[in-house]
Amino acid sequence: MSSDLVSRGYLSTILSPSGEQWKKMRKILTSEVLSPARHHWLHGKRAQEADHLVHYVYSQCMNSVTAGLVNVRVIARHYCGNVIRKLIFNKRFFGEGREDGGPGAEEIEHINSLFTILKYLFSFCISDYVPCFRGLADLDGHEKIMRTALGIVVKYQDPLVDERIKKLANGCKKEEEDLLDVLITLKDSDGCPLLSPQEIKSQIVELMIATVDNPSNAVEWTLAEMLNKPEVLKKAVEELDRVVGREWLVQESDFIKLNYVKACVKEAFRLHPFAPFNPPHVSKKDTTVANYFIPKGSHVLLSRPGLGRNPGVWEDALEFKPERHLQNDSSSVASTDPNLRLLSFSIGRRGCPGVTLGTSITTMLMARLLQCFTWNLPPTLFMIDLRESEDDLILAQPLVALAEPRLSENLYTSSLSI
């Protein structure tokens, strides 16, 4: 999940919400959508998608065309997309998907559009700082790109919302099965719908874009670093074999004991954040933080790489060392850092209310890939190129690695409802 779920811009572009609307949305997210009880309620759907993930990667291993070469970026991003679609709509595909469980054209277009939105959501806009330019032509072209991407996303999502509202209204559907049902059936003190159809659609877009970025990016970077450091990869796999074994697949209940696996992912959050800055905030009054005086009205952004790679805080700051996150008291490794030495899901009042869901998605994706498959460099490479993209902080080239099944065949070929 992204660092501040309700700071995303889609609601403001559609609704121009007041402060009260923002509070209402955040309260709904915290108490009705992302609460511990709701997380437990949706466990089965997350477990189904974890099984589908294993099935799909296994099909890539058995594919004579790909010869076991797996595009980890595609796997990771579509897994995250499948999970949140399942939780919201109780379906993983908008279309029919593929026979091997992979994404179809609809899912590819949907996920690509979500990442386009993320890329341009906080891009520099001159009219934000020079108000007289507001209302003029799209000077930097970002608005057109965003509108196109948003149009694609809502093209797939909004009809499902409208259809579900009708089904619930005419009594064709009575039991709550997913988060869309929850959002539609919320009532205010007078027994009226708490959210309008447009608010529901807007909130779903926010949930979508807040779910797909951090987990997929962290896992891709983690595996890339591991392939260049086989000793780290070996240690993580040994932990999985020791804690879970090879007779059944890792489950969420195992996470508390997978400290080294979680430390590897946390190290990727530190060293390779998806976004260069946290969502922008504005200071309401003059204040001083450490040695910095921040005047009222200042736009405040924290540099994620600046924090995570700070040599004054981290020893060997540019080295991938998961052990730095392991505690001497053997307590469970958390994705967040209370001292803000790194930003993963943020903390405090402005922290991401979806930290539990985001952590579950990330850890399951990493753990299933490591437990179920042996990962090696492609035959043509001696090491993975860890350069960042020129435009952002993701890997310059998608990670492609050689995967081989390492468990009993029946764990991959069990019946799945694609």
Q: How far apart are CA 237 and CA 370, in angstroms?
A: 6
Q: How far apart are CA 355 and CA 36, in angstroms?
A: 11
Is the separation of the CB atoms in 184 and 204 below 8 Å?
no
Q: Structure tokens of 357?
A: 């869901």
- Measured in Å, how far apart are the chain's first and last C-alpha atoms? 25
Is the separation of the CB atoms in 281 and 238 below 8 Å?
no
**Alpha helices by DSSP H, 212-351:** 213-228, 230-243, 259-271, 304-308
**Alpha helices by DSSP H, 272-326:** 304-308
132 is an annotated ligand-binding site residue? no
Q: Which of 418, 330, 416, 409 is nearest to 58 (CA)?
A: 409
Q: How far apart are CA 284 and CA 294, in angstroms?
A: 10
Number of H helices and E strands in the chain, helices first, is 15, 7
Tell me how crowded residue 69 is: count the other CB atoms within 10 A of its CB: 15
Instruction: Provide the pairing of β-strand 299-300 with 400-405.
Output: unpaired
Q: How far apart are CA 45 and CA 82, in angstroms?
A: 10
Q: How far apart are CA 199 and CA 196, in angstroms?
A: 5
Tell me how crowded residue 16 is: count the other CB atoms within 10 A of its CB: 8
Binding-site positions read 352
Binding-site positions for heme read 352
